[in-house]
Structure formats: structure tokens, C-alpha cells
Amino acid sequence: MIAKLFAINVANGNYPFKRVPKVLKPKVKEKIATMVNDDELLAKLTQE
């Protein structure tokens, strides 16, 4: 649930991916990937 909230905020540009806790980053990245379905946009959103 928390990972989904982080993913939504990162995808909307409200929260930087680099501030997501390390333990949640893989799950958040997975959720963002299912939301955007674009590798280029995913790379841009998850850059640190």
C-alpha cells in the first residue's frame, strides 16, 4: 500500500524517486512501470 502511494506521487512529479526509502525502491519502480508502460519515461522518473 505504501509503495503504491510513493509510486503515484513519483509518477505525478510530487515526490522525487531519490527520497523513496531504499527498501521500497524496487517495489515502487515496479508499480511505476505498470503505470507508465514506457521504458524511457520510467528511466526519467526513477533516476537518482
**Domain count of the fold of the chain:** 1
Query: What is the rounded CA–CA span in Å between residue 3 and residue 1?
Result: 5
Residue 33, helix vs strand vs coil: helix
The one-letter code for the residue type at 3 is A
Sorting pLDDT into bands at 50, 70 and 90, what band is 48?
confident
Write out the residue range of the structural domain in which residue 28 sits. 2-45
Helix axes 25-36, 2-12, angle to 10 degrees: 50
1-47 pLDDT, tens digit each:
999 999 999 999 999 999 999 999 999 999 999 999 999 999 999 99
Q: How many residues does the chain have?
A: 48
pTM score of the predicted model: 0.88
Q: How far apart are the first and last CA of the chain?
A: 23
